[in-house]
Amino acid sequence: MVLSRRTLLAFAAALVLVAARPARAQFSLGGHASYTKAGEADGTWYGGAQLRLRFLGPLGVEGLIDYRRATYGAGGEDVLRIEQYPVQASLMLFILSGQVQPYVLGGGGWYYTKSTFLGAQSALGSDTQHTFGGHVGGGVELGAKAKVSLHVDIRYVFLGVDSIDTIRDRYDNNPKADFWHGTAGLNFKF
């Protein structure tokens, strides 16, 4: 029997999680406010939810879902509106133990993206794209050993979106789909 690379990777990941066998795993669920800002687009406030599992020691994982909307301008008018639902998975490495715990994180995400062309570009209509993107960042968890904690973090998301490439090709500017994503939220531990 020959196992595929994907099967071996899934087995190795499961083995790492089982081997970590957290004696006191912390499972938390919560909500957050988020601010996102892409170059050449307006910054916006929205919100979402996160689910975290903290293993014994410095490792944790996070699943996060959010909503974001951004409008890109060119030539003095709004030319593109992007609406996204980021669904991210992150590996977290906590640097210190105690009530205040800084961390770094990295991972990937799936981005459901609806693009609507505006103004002179409205004849292009709208489209939907499902994209994968990576992210890196860091933050701090306050009250990490309490039943309710607060976290604040920032991450940079690396992303490609076809409609933004279309705008870049039509105008003399350099819009990017990449964006900064900051969150502040509450975590309720079980």
Q: Give the start-to-end residue ranges of the domains of the chain.
A: 25-189
Two tokens, residue 138? 């860091």
Mean pLDDT across the chain: 87
Rounded mean pLDDT, 3-28: 60
Domain 25-189: assigned CATH number: 2.40.160.20
Query: pLDDT digit string (tens) for 126-141?
Result: 999 999 999 999 999 9
* Distance (Å, whole) CA 78 – CA 118: 6
CA 181, 187, 189, 190 dihedral sign is negative
Beta strands in 41-178 (DSSP E): 44-54, 59-66, 68-74, 77-94, 100-117, 126-142, 148-158
Write down the residue that tokens 């996060």 correspond to. Answer: 64
pTM: 0.82
Query: pLDDT digit string (tens) for 46-79?
Result: 999 999 999 888 999 999 999 999 999 887 888 9
**Residue 119 or 105, more confident:** 105
What is the residue-wise DSSP string for 35-60?
EEEETTB--EEEEEEEEEEE-SSSEE
